[in-house]
Amino acid sequence: MAVEFYKYQGTGNDFILIDNRELKFNKNDTKLVAQMCDRKFGIGADGLILLEPHESANFSMVYYNSDGNLSSMCGNGGRCIVHFAKFLGLIDKEARFEAVDGMHYALIEDSIVSLQMNDVTEIDQHEAHVFLDTGSPHHVALVERLSEYNVYEQGARIRNELYGKEGANVNFVEAIDPNIYSVRTYERGVEDETLSCGTGVTAVAIAMHKMGLTFSEEIKLITPGGELQVTFVADENGYHNVTLIGPAVQVFKGSWE
């Protein structure tokens, strides 16, 4: 059976989007998902996302990493599925949907999607890094000369040595000024550097504030794939009203036979 798909990207983080409201896609076929995401023998993507029906929200989001396995929350993917829902006529300017980490609310204006992320109340600060969960687990470390840094080698080492089989995403950060940070991310599941990571830049923005490197609650993050913005409200109980803001773009559509 042919599967109609749409290719999306959010600051270079790219995804296969499928309208699965009729629940016809074989969700247990991890080999199929991995094959579709393969950049040499398939469509090519960092992940595959199914848009599915929901009893009370506008839709459900089901996210697979490019290795074919179900994964934790994807921020850029969340922004892309909101754009996809508008394209399908499910929403106008506002969306409420359920992902693996719970309910999310979003606004879309033209191609810019503002996605509300979960509150963050637990942050582990270490001497050389910060660890926190923004829907996916993230290791955040400051480095110098980020453009020359071996993100693949060091990211893979940290992902495996510190976090084992389950793994964590690893973000390397360089400050440009107190409110602007350059970020490169090694993503588990993809097992490589991606051009952007939504939950990753969210983790970086919160980590920089928690470390006292910025006092702003509006942070600009520059990734190899483009610019994102993270806003939040910080108090003694953690970080609330966390919002990831950036573009979502439909690139092309096709049919997988």
Which two three-digit tokens encode residue 251?
């690139």
DSSP 66-91: TTS-B-S--HHHHHHHHHHHHHTTS-
Decide if 67 contacts 190 (C-beta within 8 A).
Answer: yes
Which residues are catalytic, by number? 74, 197
Cα separations in angstroms, 173 against 54, 66, 143, 146, 156:
37, 24, 6, 7, 16
Which ranges of the chain does DSSP label H, i.e. alpha helix? Answer: 30-37, 75-87, 151-163, 198-210
170/189 Cα distance (integer angstroms): 12
DSSP 10-35: ETTEEEEEEE-TT--S-TT-HHHHHH
DSSP-derived 3-state class of residue 155: helix
C-beta atoms surrounding 166 within 10 Å: 8
220/175 Cα distance (integer angstroms): 11
Strands 123-125 and 130-133: antiparallel
191/199 Cα distance (integer angstroms): 16
